[in-house]
Structure 1
Amino acid sequence: MDLFENSIDKTKNWLPKDGMVNYHGKLFERQRADHYFECLLNTIEWRNDEAVIFGKKIITKRKVAWYGDKPFEYTYSNTSKYALPWTEELLTLKTAIEKETDETFNSCLLNLYHSGSEGMAWHSDGETDLKKNGAIGSLTFGSERKFVFKHKQTKEKVEMILEHGSLLVMKDTTQTHWLHRLPPTKKVAKPRVNLTFRTIVE
C-alpha cells in the first residue's frame, strides 16, 4: 500500500466478483485514532461473547458490545443481544462514516480482541435481521490485523491489512457469496477494537 494516504483508491473493488469491498484507508490521523481507541476500551460495556454450537454454550475470550438507535434484537450463533443506547463517541464515529460512505446505519456491533491470539472464524454477516445486501462499515482501532475473504464456491481468497483508524466497507452481494475471517496471529500482542456499523430491518 502506498505511503501517501490520499493515493488510496476508495472506489476500488477488492473482490474479483460477486460483491463489493472498498477500503478507505485511515479516516483518522494517529492522534485522533489513539483517542478513540482508548475511549472505546474504557467506555464501552464489553461482555464476553456467547455462542451455542451443537447445543453447547461457548464463552469466548473476545468481548463484544451491541449498540443502536433502539434496543434492536440481534441473533447470531443461536444467541440474542439487545442494543444499548449510543454513546457520544459512537454517534460521532457513525456520523463520520456515514459522511464518508453516503450510507446510513442504525446499529453497531463492536468486537474487542485482546491480542493476536483472538480471532474470528470463517462466517458471513447474512442474518435475517440485517438489511439485504446493505452496507457494513468496519472501523479498526488499535493493532493492525490481516483480514481475509474466501469465495463460497470457488474458494479463491483475498487478503488485506486493516490499519489503525481505517475503514472497510462491505456491500451488495458480498455476504451472499463470500465468507470472511480474522485469522489469529502470534505476531500481535496488543488489542484491536473493531466496530461494524450495520442496518437492522424491523
Structure 2
Amino acid sequence: MATKHLIQLDDSYIEYYRNLLSNTQAQALYRTLNETLDWQQEHIQIFGKTIASPRLQCFYGDLDVAYRYSGRTFIATPWTDTLAKLKHLISSQTGYPFNGVLCNLYRNGQDAMGWHSDNEPELGQNPVIASFSLGETRNFSLRKTKHTKQCLSLPLEHNSLLLMPEGFQSLYQHAVSRSKKNNDARINLTFRMFYN
C-alpha cells in the first residue's frame, strides 16, 4: 500500500509516494522494463551543439503523440502491456490522465540530467508530471526558476512516485546530478499529458 507525503515548498508543493507496488512487483517490473524497452542513446542540442544524451531513453504513448525537445521530435511507440497497466495504476493513484511516458535509464552515477523545466508547448500551460523511479536511489534537485540557489534535494527511492502539480514547471527547475556514490542503474518513467 502506497504511503503519500505532501512536501510543501515556498509557493508550491510536490507529492511523494513510497512503495507504490509491492517489493516483489517492483523488482519484477524493473527487470522487465530494463530487458524489454527499446532503450536508445539519443543526440540532442544544447546551446547550439549536438551531443549524446547523458542517459538512455525511449518514448511510449497513445497513437500520434509526439514530443519535441532539444531540437528533436520524438513519435511515441505504442504502449507495451506493462507500461499501459502502470499508467492506469498511476492515473488511479494521482487522479490525473496521461497519454505518454518518457522512459529514462540512468546506467550509473555518471548518467545525469541538467537543470531544466518540463515546459514544452505540447505539454500545455500547466503540465502535471508523475515521475516513477525503480532501482538505484538518486537525488532529485529543485531550485526556483529565477534563482540559482538550490532549495531542495530529495532522494527518489526505488518504487517511489513523485507528482509535480499544475503550475510547478513555471516556478521550479529540476535536475539529477552526477554522483560517484551511485553506481547501479535507475529507471525513471515520467508520465505526461501531451496536446498535439
Q: TM-score range by the shorter chain?
A: over 0.9
Q: In structure 1, what is the Cα distance between the partners aligned to 2:127 and 2:24?
A: 31
Listed as ranges, the gaps of 5+ residues in structure 1 are none
1:186 aligns with 2:180: yes
Alignment of 1:4-153 (within 5 A): 8-10=3-5, 12-17=6-11, 19-153=12-146
SS at 1:48 equivalent: coil
CA RMSD of aligned residues (A): 1.5
1:131 is displaced (CA, Å) by 2.6
SS at 1:190 equivalent: coil
Describe the shift of the 1:68–1:180 C-alpha distance in structure 2 as closer, same or farther (beyond 3 A): same
Paired residues in the alignment total 195
Identity %: 34
1:24 is displaced (CA, Å) by 1.2
Letter in 2 for 1:136: I
SS at 2:187 equivalent: strand
Q: In structure 2, what is the Cα distance between the partners aligned to 1:132 and 1:35?
A: 36
Query: Which of 153, 158, 164 is 2:152 aligned to?
Result: 158
Letter in 2 for 1:138: S
Q: Deviations over 1:62-91 (max 9, x none)?
A: 110011111322111111111000001101
Listed as ranges, the gaps of 5+ residues in structure 2 are none
SS at 1:96 equivalent: helix
Query: Which of 161, 171, 174 is 1:167 aligned to?
Result: 161
Describe the shift of the 1:196–1:189 C-alpha distance in structure 2 as closer, same or farther (beyond 3 A): same
TM-score by length of 2: 0.94
1:52 is displaced (CA, Å) by 1.4
